[in-house]
């Protein structure tokens, strides 16, 4: 086959896990974080954006049949694609962290009851849960997550109105609840009159659910991903929602059959805990996804080996390569140039990729690597069609295509990630264009027209989002601006 024919059939996969759910299983790396989540050792998975959290989430979902053999049932608390279940909260959000705690708990109870009913678990406890929810008008007509969340939130808002009722309202003598209102679930321990009136606490509902599941020898894993998208438009809302979620996670620990699995960006975790968060010390079953040079090489090779056109054209023994990291490196340099920038002191291509896509925290995310390779493939095809091919031997992609791809990746990362997520910093980033890549606090203060302390705080923010790499000392820090190919820095 001609090089261009191989390239046109070559795919490195999608850089976003949600967009390749059907293909992901074929080249997913069964990493230590994945096994520890699957084995029940880990409940909270941290990682930078694009590090593979959603890939683990997707693969665990695809393992539902195998998990069922272990009597584990998977249920998702968020839509894996499209609009998030929480999108409707942005216009009328809960006003406090405690309201969010109540909302999470009621939402989870509704999800648990729905699943228990679907599994046809029939016990005294499961019947009591379902009956309580029915009496409270909490069984939504639609089974979609948005409808379930909406039912829970409407109940929370109704409850808030009840608690602020003025004197003179007609109250039920037994329950203390206004007559005509269906209110059977309390978020505190009900008093004797309320118990006699049929009111039950949310904690008691979790006890009943846990008991019903134990009787049926089933565990339910509630998976929660895409939290960076769910509340991205409002940082205060995000902070309240996520701090409340981890409080609920800790509150549910006594229930061995109900387990939350939370997938969260580590920069968001830092943001919601920076002002202090006592519950954080109790969140211990955690792991942070990290990528070494070897694991990134393995990721690239596994995706290449998923292409039959490459396997056949270059006569590659897939099993032989997969088992030996040395053979994986040989194959990589068979398909890519030895160096992108030539010279005795210049890095080899794999190191060049890793350093060029890393952010200011030193993280080289798989998402950016995959994006770079796909763009390089497209650039190489374009160059061959124009008669500019400079790849030699079996190499599929040349130096010029790699450099051109980096410009595109930098542009997308800047405009679609950094600008989209941190609009308040756009002005300061734009003012760095045409400036040198390396800056000090003093030079930044001059560029931005700020005093030293203000410039230092802005620089710290740019470092925290990965745009600045911090060098020098704490007393005299220097900042190296990444994404410099897009920003035309020198």
Provide DSSP, 21-45. Answer: HHHHHHH----HHHHHHHTTS-SEE
Tally the C-alpha atoms within 13 A of residue 183's C-alpha that lie toward its C-beta. 24
Q: Listing from the earlier edge strand, what are the strands of the sheet with 438-440?
A: 438-440, 477-481, 468-472
Per the CB < 8 A criterion, the answer to whether 220 and 68 are in contact is no
Cα distances from 235 to residues 54, 191, 269, 311, 439, in angstroms, run 22, 37, 12, 47, 29
Pairing mode, if any, of strands 468-472 and 477-481? antiparallel
Please give the structure tokens belonging to residue 218: 């089933």
Report pLDDT for 162. 65
The tokens of 168 are what? 């003179």
For CA atoms 358, 360, 362, 367, give the dihedral sign.
Answer: negative
Rounded to an integer, what distance in angstroms lies between the CA atom of residue 400 and that of residue 32? 36
| Contact indicator for 45, 403 with CB cutoff of 8 Å | no
β-partners of residue 468 are: 481
The CATH number that domain 423-490 falls under is 1.10.10.10
CA–CA distance, 49 with 236 (Å, rounded to integer): 20
CA distance 388 to 427: 38
Maximum separation of any 2 CA atoms in the chain, in Å: 89
Q: How far apart are CA 95 and CA 455, in angstroms?
A: 33
DSSP state of 468: E
Residue 381's SS3 state is: helix
**Total Cβ atoms within 10 A of residue 50:** 25
- The H or E element spanning position 300 is helix 293-304
Tokens of 389: 């091919």
The pLDDT tens digits along the chain (490 residues) read 788 999 999 988 887 766 666 666 676 767 788 889 888 899 999 988 888 888 888 888 888 888 999 999 999 998 877 778 887 777 788 878 888 999 999 999 999 999 999 999 999 999 999 999 999 889 887 888 999 999 999 888 887 766 555 444 444 555 445 544 567 888 888 888 777 778 899 999 999 999 999 999 999 999 998 888 777 667 788 888 899 999 999 999 999 999 999 999 888 898 888 888 888 889 999 999 888 999 999 999 999 998 998 899 889 999 999 899 999 999 999 999 999 999 998 999 999 999 888 887 788 888 899 999 999 999 999 999 998 877 777 788 999 999 999 988 988 888 888 888 888 899 999 998 888 888 999 999 999 999 999 999 999 888 888 888 888 888 888 998 875 444 433 3
Residue range(s) of every CATH 1.10.10.10 domain in the chain: 423-490
Q: Which two tokens stand for residue 80?
A: 């894996």
Q: How far apart are CA 353 and CA 335, in angstroms?
A: 14
Question: With contact defined as beta carbons under 8 Å apart, do 293 and 350 qualify?
Answer: yes
pLDDT attached to residue 488: 38
- Three-state DSSP at 387 gives coil
First-to-last alpha carbon distance for the chain, in angstroms, is 42
Neighbouring residues of 237: CB distance < 8 A, sequence distance ≥ 6: 89, 90, 93, 231
Residues in CB range of 191: below 8 A, 6 or more apart:
176
- What is the DSSP-derived secondary structure letter of residue 418? I
Q: What is the CA radius of gyration of the chain?
A: 27
Q: Cα angle vertex 67, ends 62, 70, to 5°?
A: 175
3-state secondary structure 390-414: CCCCCCCCCHHHHHHHHHHHHHHHH
If DSSP codes are grouped into helix, strand and coil, which group holds residue 356? helix
Lookup result for tokens 């820090």: 477
CA distance 239 to 52: 23
Q: How far is CA 401 from the centre of its chain?
A: 30
Any alpha helices (H) in 144-201, and if so which ranges?
145-163, 192-196
Strands 44-47 and 286-288: parallel
């Amino acid at each position: 086959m001609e090089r261009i024919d191989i390239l046109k059939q070559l795919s490195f996969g999608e850089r976003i896990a949600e967009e390749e759910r059907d293909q992901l299983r074929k080249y997913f790396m069964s990493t230590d974080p994945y096994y520890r989540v699957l084995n029940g050792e880990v409940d909270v998975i941290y990682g930078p954006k694009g590090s593979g959290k959603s890939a683990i989430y997707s693969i665990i979902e695809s393992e539902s049949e195998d998990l069922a053999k272990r009597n584990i049932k998977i249920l998702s608390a968020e839509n894996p694609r499209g609009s998030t279940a929480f999108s409707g909260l942005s216009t009328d959000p809960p006003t406090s962290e405690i309201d969010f705690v109540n909302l999470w708990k009621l939402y989870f109870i509704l999800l648990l009851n729905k699943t228990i009913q679907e599994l046809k678990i029939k016990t005294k406890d499961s019947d009591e849960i379902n009956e309580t929810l029915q009496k409270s008008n909490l069984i939504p007509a639609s089974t979609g997550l948005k409808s379930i969340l909406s039912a829970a939130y409407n109940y929370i808002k109704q409850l808030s109105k009840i608690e602020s009722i003025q004197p003179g309202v007609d109250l039920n003598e037994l329950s203390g609840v206004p007559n005509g209102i269906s209110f059977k679930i309390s978020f505190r321990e009900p008093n004797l009159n309320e118990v006699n009136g049929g009111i039950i606490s949310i904690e008691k509902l979790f006890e009943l659910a846990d008991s019903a599941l134990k009787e049926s020898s089933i565990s339910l894993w509630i998976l929660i991903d895409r939290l960076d998208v769910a509340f991205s438009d409002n940082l205060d809302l995000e902070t309240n929602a996520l701090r409340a979620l981890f409080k609920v996670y800790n509150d549910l620990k006594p229930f061995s059959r109900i387990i939350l699995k939370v997938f969260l960006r580590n920069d968001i975790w830092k943001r919601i805990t920076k002002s202090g968060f006592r519950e954080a010390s109790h969140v211990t079953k955690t792991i942070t996804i990290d990528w070494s040079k070897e694991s990134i090489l393995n990721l690239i090779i596994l995706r290449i080996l998923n292409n039959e056109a490459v396997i056949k054209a270059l006569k590659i023994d897939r099993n032989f390569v997969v088992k030996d990291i040395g053979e994986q490196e040989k194959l990589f340099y068979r398909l890519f140039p030895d160096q992108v920038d030539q010279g005795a002191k210049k890095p080899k291509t794999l190191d060049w990729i890793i350093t060029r896509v890393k952010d200011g925290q030193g993280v080289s995310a798989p998402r950016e690597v995959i994006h770079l390779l796909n763009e390089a493939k497209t650039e190489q095809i374009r160059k061959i069609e124009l008669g500019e091919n400079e790849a030699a031997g079996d190499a599929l992609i040349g130096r010029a295509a790699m450099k051109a791809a980096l410009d595109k990746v930098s542009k997308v990362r800047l405009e679609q990630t950094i600008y989209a997520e941190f609009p308040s910093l756009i002005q300061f980033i734009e003012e760095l264009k045409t400036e040198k890549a390396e800056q000090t606090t003093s030079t930044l203060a001059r560029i931005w027209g700020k005093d030293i302390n203000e410039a230092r705080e802005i620089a710290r923010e740019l470092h925290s989002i990965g745009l600045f790499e911090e060098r020098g000392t704490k007393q005299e820090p220097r900042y190296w601006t990444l994404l410099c190919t897009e920003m035309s820095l020198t």
